[in-house]
Amino acid sequence: MIKYLGSKRVLLPRILDEVDGLARRAAGAGAPIRTVLDLFSGTARVGHALKARGYRVHANDHNAYAATLATCYVAADRRRWRARAERLIAELDALPGEPGWFTETCCVRSRYLQPKNGARVDAIRERIARLALEPTLEAIALTSLMEAADRVDSTTGVQMAYLKRWAARSSQPLKLRVPALLDGAGSASCLEAATAAARREADLAYLDPPYNQHSYLGNYHVWESLARWDKPEVYGVAMKRTDVRERGSAFNRRGAIAPALREVLGALKARYLIVSFNDEGYLPLPALRSMLEALGAVRAIEVAHPRYIGHRIGVYNPRGEKVGTPGPATNRECLFIVEVGSRRAAARRRPARPALVPAPGG
């Protein structure tokens, strides 16, 4: 899967353990967990792993590249698509390079990939567009292309900038691979989180929302353009899509994240929630816990986690001098496990008896 800020690769075993633990208890009570809603799916790493465990997963993300990954890794059934995907990807991988919009924008005017690989991206993406494939097969092909480009890129893992000198991996030839498809049914959507929450009912919902100023669209605008293939106007040294300025998320704004999350939680139709959050978020962890306790009994797990690679590299001024003082080298990833509608929460929501206050002069 692509390199991704906020990836749950390290935390994934713990997430799976918690889901399975809830599932065992629910099955023992005669109400098994069969369906899962992954509301902010990103690379679909969590949804893919849950599907592999036998859960029926619906993965949602409002960015086109993430919805594409979810269609490939969660919605696609390997038994139906594997053979066709193998033939298609072999055909696409044999195409010679043909420079176009991607090469000019992402390899000449900027340096995300070397031009020889950018020309291959252009040729492959144009062929995919001309083939007018079924949406699921197109998503598999686009996932293969994004991951191939990611393996030969020249960034630190985000597309806010690119390296001044070409990364060693960027000299390798771009090579397509068939993604790791799974047997079984699933589904995916490209909706705002509150809309998806209102439309989908599940036994368990997994939420991993953005939590601070780092916009996933801004960090992965190259993949968004590959998925949409709309060849947008761009701006700045990083050649970002102009709609990065227009498609901001409430979860990336300090004053908007709390009401946005309340709207999502209010729309959810699930018996259990697992919410992943970070102590660097705009919403303090105690405030988040209080919000979740209004829904049910809450248990929290904290895991120390190294900060993103940009923190380790540091910040430099235009003269190449390192500036600023780095913060802590680790942060806390928190998992909140919520049993919605538990008796403990119901008791908490009952109005308390008013305190007896002596009358003046009494």
Residue-wise pLDDT for 284-305, tens only, equals 999 999 999 999 999 999 887 6
Q: What is the reported pLDDT for 312? A: 53
Mean pLDDT lowest among 231-235, 262-266, 269-273, 352-356: 352-356
pLDDT band (50, 70, 90) for residue 200: very high
Task: Report the DSSP pairing between strands 272-278 and 296-306.
Answer: unpaired
pLDDT band (50, 70, 90) for residue 314: low
Looking at domain 1-75+184-210+249-349, its CATH architecture is: 3-Layer(aba) Sandwich (3.40)
| Segments of the chain assigned to CATH 3.40.50.150 | 1-75+184-210+249-349
The DSSP result for 178-242, as a single string, is: ----BSS--EEE---HHHHHHH-B-SEEEE----SS--HHHHTHHHHHHHH-----EETTTTEEG
Q: What is residue 315's three-state secondary structure?
A: strand
User: Does pLDDT of 360 surpass 80?
Assistant: no
Residues composing the chain = 362
Q: Which residues contact residue 339 at a Cβ distance below 8 angstroms, ignoring those fewer than 6 apart?
A: 22, 271, 272, 296, 297
Q: What is the mean pLDDT of residues 198-221?
A: 94
Q: Which residues contact residue 293 at a Cβ distance below 8 angstroms, ignoring those fewer than 6 apart?
A: 345, 348
Q: What is the reported pLDDT for 357? A: 32
